[in-house]
Structure 1
C-alpha cells in the first residue's frame, strides 16, 4: 500500500499536476483498493474536518496583513531605523539586513514577502557599499527565514493544528532560536566585512536616529500586538491575526496613505487566491494523513527504519533530516502535512515536548526555503533580482552552515526554545 501511494504521487508529480492532486489521488485510490467495504465519504469528511479548526482562521488573516504592509511603507521605515543605529559599524549594513529581515518577518510572517520587501530595498545599497552580490543575495534569502521562526508563523499554525499543539506556545518558543540566528548571522557579517575591508556608512546623529525611531514606531507595533498580546493573555493567535489586519489597514490606508480602497480590493483578491491554495492543500493533506494513520503506515515506516524504541536524540536527528530533505524538493506546507502524522507515534513514544519538535520542524522548513533545488526563497530571489539560479545559490552555504549549527545547539540545549515558553506559560 505504501509503495502504491508513493508510486501514484511520483507519477502525478512528474506529469506536472499540482501537489493537491497527488495527495488526493493517492489517498482515494489506496482507500478504494484496500478498504472497499468502507465509504469514500469518510475521506471527504476528513477533508472537511482538516479545514474546520478555528485556529486556521489566522492563516488568511496573516497573509492579508502581509500583503497590505508589503505594498505599503512599513518595510522602508523598519530598514531606515536599523540603518541609522547600525550602519556606521564595520559590517553594519549586513547586520542591518539581518535585523530588518527579522523585524519585517515579525510583521508579515512570510519569507517570500521578506525577500521582496527587504531585498528590494537593501541589495542595491549592499552592492554600492562593496559587498559581493552572491553574499548579499545569500544573506537576504537566509535572513528571510527568520519570518518562519519569529511569530507570526504560518508553518507553526499548521503544525499546531495537525499535532494539537498550542500555537501560542509555539509562537513564543520560536523567539529563542530566532534571536540566536540573528546573533550568529550578525557575527558572521561583521567577520566578512572585516576580512574584505568593506567600508562603513556615515554615522547618523541622534536627531536622525530619533526621527527614524518616530517613523518606525507604527510598524513596530505589529510584533508588540502578536507577541505582547499572546504573552499577556490578552488574545489568542487567531484574534491577534485579525487585529494585525485591522492595524495594517489603519497604518497603510489612513496614516501612511500608501494604498487606497481600490488597492485593498486587489490585495483581498490576491489573499483569497493564496488562501484557497493553502486550504485545499490542508484538506488534501488531512485526507492523506488519515489514510496513513488508518492503515498504520507511520508505525510500519518507523519499524522499517529501525526507529522503534529510538532515544530522544536519534528521534530528533531523524525528524530534522526528514523535514530538511523534504523541504528541499516539496512545498513546506505539504511536507508538514505528510510527515508530522508519520512521526507523531515516535514523538509520543519518546516523550518529546511537542513544542520543541514543532520549533525544530519549523527551523528545518525555514532552512529548506533557502536550499536548492526548489527552495521558495531562491526562486523568489531569481524573479525579483533577475539573477541566474546558479548565482543566487552561490553565496548561501555559510548561512546554511550557521543554521545547521543552530539545529545542533537546539538538540543539545532544548532550553533555547523551551525557556521562553516556560517563562511565558509555566
Structure 2
C-alpha cells in the first residue's frame, strides 16, 4: 500500500500535476482498493475536518496583512531604521539585511514576502558597497527564513493544528532560535566583510537615528501586537491575526496613504487565491494523513527503519533529516502535512516536548525554503532579481551550513527554544 501511494504521487508529480492532485489521488486510490467496506463519505469528512479548526483562520489573516504591508511603506521604514544604527560597523550593511529580514518577518510571517520587500531595497545597496551578488542573494534568501521562526509563522500554525500543539507556545518558542540565527548570521557577515575589506557606511547622527526610529514606530507595532498580545494573554493567535489585518490597513491606507481602494481590492483577491491553494492542500493532506493512520503505516515505517523505541536525541535527528530532505523537493506545507502524522507515534514514545519538535520542524521547513533544488525563496529571488537559477544558489551554502549548525545546537540544548516558553506559560 505504501509503495502504491508513493508511486502514484511520483508519477503525477512528474506529469506536472499540482501537489494537491498527487495527495488526493493517492489517498482516494488507496481508500478504494484497501478499504472497500468503508464509505467514501468518511474520506470527505476527514477533508472537511482538516480545514475546520478555528486556528486556521489565522492563515488568511496573516497572508492578507503581509500583502498589505509589502505593497506599502513599512518595509522601507524598517530597513532605514536598521541601517541608521548598524550601517557604520564593519559588515554593518549585511548585518542590517539580517536584522531587517527579522523585523519584516515579525511583521508579515512570510519568507517570500521578506525576500521581495527587503531584497528589493537592500540588494542594490549591497552591490554598490562592494559585496558580491552571490553573497548578497544568498544572505537575503536565507535571512528571510527568520520569518518562519519569529512569529507570526504560518508553518507553526499548520503544525500546531495537525499535532494539537498550542500555537501560542510555538510562537513564543520560536523567538530563541530566531535570535540565535540572527547572531550567527551577523558574526559571519562581519567576518566576510573584514576578509574582503568591504568599506563601511557613514555613521548616522543621533538626530538621523531618532528620525528613523520615529518613522518606524508604526511598523514596529506589528511584533508588539503579535508577541506582546499573546504573551500577555490579551488575545489568541487568531485574534492577533485579525488585529494585524486591521492595523496594516489603517497604517498603509490612513497613516502612510500608500495604497488605494483599488489596491485593497487587488490585495484581497490575491489573498483569496493564495488561501484557496493553502486550504485545498490542507484538506488533501488531512485525507492523506487519515489513510496513513488508518492503515497504521507510520508504525510500519518506524519499525522498518529501526526507530521503534528510539531515544529522544535519535528521534530528533531522524525528524530533522526527514524534514530537511523532504523540503528540498516538496512544498513545506505538504511536507508538514505528510510527515507530522508519521512521526507522531515516535515523538510520543520518546517523550519529546511537542513544542520543541514543532520548532525543529519549522526550522527545517525554513531551511528547505532556501535549499536547492526547489526552495520557494530561490524561485522568488529568480523572479524578483531577474537572475539565473545557478547564480541565485551560488552563495547560499555558507548560510545553509550556519542554519544546520543552529539545528545541532537546538538538539543539544533544547532550552534555547524552550526557556521563553517556560517563562511565559509555565
When normalised by structure 1's length, the TM-score is 1.00
Quote how far apart the aligned CAs of 1:179 are: 0.2
Aligned to 2:285: 285
CA distance in 2, matches of 1:15, 1:394: 29
1:360 aligns with 360
2: distance between equivalents of 1:178 and 1:266? 32
Partner Cα distance (1:236, 1:344) in 2: 25
**Residue 245 of structure 1: aligned partner:** 245
The residue that corresponds to 2:389 in the other structure is 389
SS in structure 1 at match of 2:38:
coil
Does residue 57 (structure 1) correspond to residue 60 (structure 2)? The answer is no
Any residues of structure 2 matched to 1:128-277 within 5 Å, and which?
Answer: 128-277=128-277
Residues of 1 paired with 2:21 and 2:413: CA distance? 40
How far, CA to CA, are the matches of 1:10 and 1:361 in structure 2?
23
**Aligned-pair distance for 1:44?**
0.2
* 2:81 maps to 1:81: yes
TM superposition shift of 1:296 = 0.1
Instruction: Tell whether 2:328 aligns with 1:332.
Output: no
Count of residue correspondences: 426
Which 10-residue stretch deviates more, 212-221 or 384-393? 384-393
Distance apart, 1:215 and its partner CA: 0.1
Deviations, residues 99-126 of structure 1 (Å, cap 9, x unaligned): 0000000000000000000000000000
Match of residue 92 from structure 1:
92
Return the alpha-carbon distance in structure 2 between the equivalents of residues 266 and 390 of structure 1: 33
User: Paired residue for 1:6?
Assistant: 6
**Equivalent runs, 1:304-383 vs 2, <5 Å:** 304-383=304-383
Give the secondary-structure state (helix, strand or coil) at the position aligned to 1:371: coil
Q: Distance in 2 between matches of 1:203 and 1:292?
A: 59
Q: Secondary structure at the match of 1:257?
A: coil
State how far apart, in whole Å, the 2-side matches of 1:358 and 1:177 are: 12
- TM-score normalised over the length of structure 2: 1.00
Q: CA RMSD in A?
A: 0.4
Distance 1:405 1:295 in 2: 37
Flag structure 2 segments of 5+ consecutive residues without an equivalent: none
Equivalents in 2 of 1:335, 1:175: separation in Å?
A: 23
Q: Structure 1 runs of 4+ off > 3 angstroms? A: none
Q: Deviations over 1:233-278 (max 9, x none)?
A: 0000000000000000000000000001111010000000000000
TM-superposed CA distance for 1:96, in Å, is: 0.2
Structure 1 spans left out of the alignment, 5+ residues: none
Partner Cα distance (2:399, 2:5) in 1: 36
What's the counterpart of residue 104 of structure 1? 104
Counterpart of 1:72? 72
* Structure 1 position 87, deviation (Å): 0.4
- 1:323-365 CA distance string (max 9 Å, x none): 0000000000000000000000000000000000000000000
Q: Distance between the aligned counterparts of 1:189 and 1:379, measured in 2?
A: 23
Pairing of 1:391-410 with structure 2 (within 5 A): 391-410=391-410
Equivalent in the alignment of 2:46? 46
Cα distance in structure 2, aligned partners of 1:382 and 1:12: 26
CA drift of 1:315 comes to 0.5
1: CA distance, partners of 2:200 / 2:11: 53
Aligned position for 1:424: 424
2:413 — aligned with what?
A: 413
Q: What is the Cα deviation at residue 46 of structure 1?
A: 0.2
CA deviations on 1:199-258 (whole Å, 9 max, x unpaired) are 000111011000000000000000000000000000000000000000000000000000
